[in-house]
């Protein structure tokens, strides 16, 4: 493979003039099945050079959108410190829209902490409920992300789409507490458009933070993830979600890509979803 620049394709803006700031968080310290998501920021950036700058569906040219790639932020091995570091970084963006590339899903907690003053709702696309209070004695584990986010913003401001795996105890507790989640089987039966409509009825004109755990996709589409789970969403289902919610996003992340477990398929898909999110967001605010 030829050499490519080490930044995300078309992210040509300087930091000062950028509307969107991409940054990587190479952390997989609490991963429990497959390690290697720390390598994803670099691989997803590389994959981003596969695409044309021009998007046919919107007729936008991404090279003209003010996007800056900050590079990776330095993080330590302790998950609590990683979350704090991400929070501090996002707080310094002065209203710019953060686009985070993980790394494991734990990093989302830091972005949400930084953005919660904006009265956001959070949408997690995830195969797993991730509602444990702790996992292997770690409260900021990838298996506890939804629980920590619910504590930050309130459980009524959180929705999880595409779930198809949970421990019995966390599942029963999530139902008891009134967590709004829609499993992958319901989405397949009802159609993703109808589910999106239900979410909009619930949240109205709220701003969203959208977090895309790539394991929400069926492994036949995205095999290179940390914890693959069969019977997932299709690429087009996820595309519809990203397209619909991106005009209202205050931030976006892609997490849990584990590049060494496929031949770049999942990284290419992750890079494309980032480009779609930026494109659709910009279409709603461009001058």
User: pTM above the 0.85 mark?
Assistant: yes
Q: For 20-285, CATH number?
A: 3.40.800.10
Q: What is the largest CA-CA distance in the chain?
A: 53
Exposure of 29 in the CB half-sphere (CA atoms within 13 A):
18
CB burial of residue 42 (10 Å; 0-12, 13-18, 19+):
middle
Q: What is the pLDDT of residue 205?
A: 86
Q: What is the pLDDT of residue 102?
A: 96
Round to whole Å and give the CA distance between 138 and 154. Answer: 21
Beta bridge partners of 257: 225
Q: Where are the domains of the chain?
A: 20-285
Mean pLDDT, each 10-residue run in order, the chain (287 residues): 88 98 95 93 98 95 98 93 98 96 97 94 98 87 95 97 97 97 98 96 94 98 98 98 97 98 97 98 84
Specify whether the backbone of 242 is left (phi greater than 0), alpha (psi in -120 to 50) or beta.
alpha
């Amino acid at each position: 493979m030829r050499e490519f620049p080490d930044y995300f394709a078309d992210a040509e803006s300087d930091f000062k003039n950028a509307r969107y700031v991409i940054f990587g968080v190479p952390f997989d310290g609490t991963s429990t099945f497959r390690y290697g998501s720390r390598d994803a920021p670099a691989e997803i950036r590389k994959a981003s050079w596969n695409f044309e700058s021009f998007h046919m569906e919107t007729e936008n040219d991404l090279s003209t959108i003010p996007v800056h790639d900050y590079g990776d932020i330095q993080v330590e091995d302790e998950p609590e410190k990683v979350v704090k570091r991400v929070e501090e970084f996002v707080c310094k963006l002065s209203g710019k829209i953060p686009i985070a590339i993980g790394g494991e899903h734990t990093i989302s907690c830091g972005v949400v902490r930084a953005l919660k003053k904006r009265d956001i709702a959070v949408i997690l696309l995830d195969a797993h409920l991730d509602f444990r209070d702790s996992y292997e004695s770690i409260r900021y584990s990838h298996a506890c992300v939804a629980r920590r986010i619910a504590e930050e913003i309130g459980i009524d401001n959180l929705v999880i789409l595409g779930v198809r795996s949970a421990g019995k105890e966390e599942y029963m507790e999530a139902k008891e507490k009134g967590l709004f989640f829609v499993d992958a089987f319901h989405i397949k039966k009802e159609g993703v458009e109808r589910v999106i409509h239900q979410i909009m009825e619930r949240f109205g004109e709220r701003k969203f933070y959208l977090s895309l755990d790539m394991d929400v996709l069926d492994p036949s589409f995205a095999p290179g993830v940390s914890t693959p789970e069969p019977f997932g969403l299709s690429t087009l289902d996820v595309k519809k979600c990203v397209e619909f919610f991106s005009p209202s996003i205050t931030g976006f992340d892609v997490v849990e890509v584990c590049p060494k477990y496929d031949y770049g398929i999942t990284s290419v898909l992750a890079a494309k979803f980032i480009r779609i999110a930026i494109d659709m967001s910009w279409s709603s605010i461009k001058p």
